[in-house]
Structure 1
């Protein structure tokens, strides 16, 4: 590793460690029953995970100052912390990560892009519950350095991690507070990565417009945000909303021209209202040839429900929707 690269990396990792250092004692960010249940022996991710381990070793070192009986802002304590942290990074973290950086550099020109697996998802779920957003961002950076493309980060990592947090809560593997904090950190990551996500590829659908909606009464919007960013990447003009009722839907599609309306359905509890929502879209839409897509776990489990509720198609995720619409919209143009 070049000295300039090493210095930049040292500064970056000190920043991440500093955020961990400032956590109040007793916040229990290193042991959590939710994460223990979810990781299932997941492989440690080079980078942030090793940094956390090294920092834990430093905290347990003999002679590290206790937070009890000393103000966190005391200059002597801060100076000791900085010195010890610097030595830990020099002796523990950088040697462990040098091989990771060499491997990453070798992969930059590799023709094959990597994808996310279940262990990566479990590990990110653990991180967003136990640590702040900077650690989660470092973890994602490490994945990307290994060759995982940004669209896979959105569709194969962030969205499934959000689903996993919900499943863990339903299974009583973690508490509501854990899920809420984890979701908030995932949303922050989505916002941070969005500009690059939009720039990375050619604009294949420039000029197309899509309206993404939750089912009336539902408030879970993270999945919809991720799908929206995927569409923006391909040049779509995107709007999104969480309508309160069918009248809200009619007002939205009457106000502007949309090529596609996507409806996210959270579960069976709201399924009965979906046909009325789709009827309102078709009746009130400025574009009488509007394509209506539905998405959600209930359609993944029962694909035949899409036709039953009146949709043109169902989509597994944003990537799948893009592929479908490329074909569907071309067919519509050719038949006019």
Structure 2
């Protein structure tokens, strides 16, 4: 097995750096929610793993959890890479090892066995490892109808822009599923289950940055193949934060959004 093809180190390093810088830019009271979101999303994948694929031992999970909060940024990634080289399936790594480590870190946090800072470090590394493996997930089949989901960030009240964009794209022949007024969990569930891999997220300003970041992180965990772009005034008002959110593009106007989703659709359709 070619380890370099099995684990995208550049993607891992960028995701790890961006998540740490992102957390530093967000309000302190929002970091709790983002850390919990990563833990809960990954733990929920473990709860659905009824087949216990290549089920690791408690000792293996504990070793991985400690590695993820160690002083070595690479230790957890090396363990995962070695597991892959030894033949562990992608599903086992994702559903058993990483999800099991997330569950254990959550328990340690609750029991005060580890600090919040350590859990923050661990969740950042888990997320980054997932991003390093994301290119290996099998894409869903190509969608025959040109389609995308446009959604307003939870709590956003300025939705006229995304409604207008939806109307414009519909007139151009796109099947646009518009979602506004949804809670975070409702939106994550709906977008993760959507057949189209193209997701446009709209936010009106810097005040929505934490909610947008939380949403993007959840979608990256639940739907690694999604092509995500951000639009709305936040693209101007908080470009320094949005640039760290692991999105595929930032559309500052309709032509930019059109260019992105046309390319994303063609790429998925002809993959």
Taking structure 1 as the reference length, the TM-score comes to: 0.35
Which structure would you say has the larger RCO, counting Cα contacts within 8 Å and 6 or more residues apart? 2
Q: Which has the larger radius of gyration?
A: 1
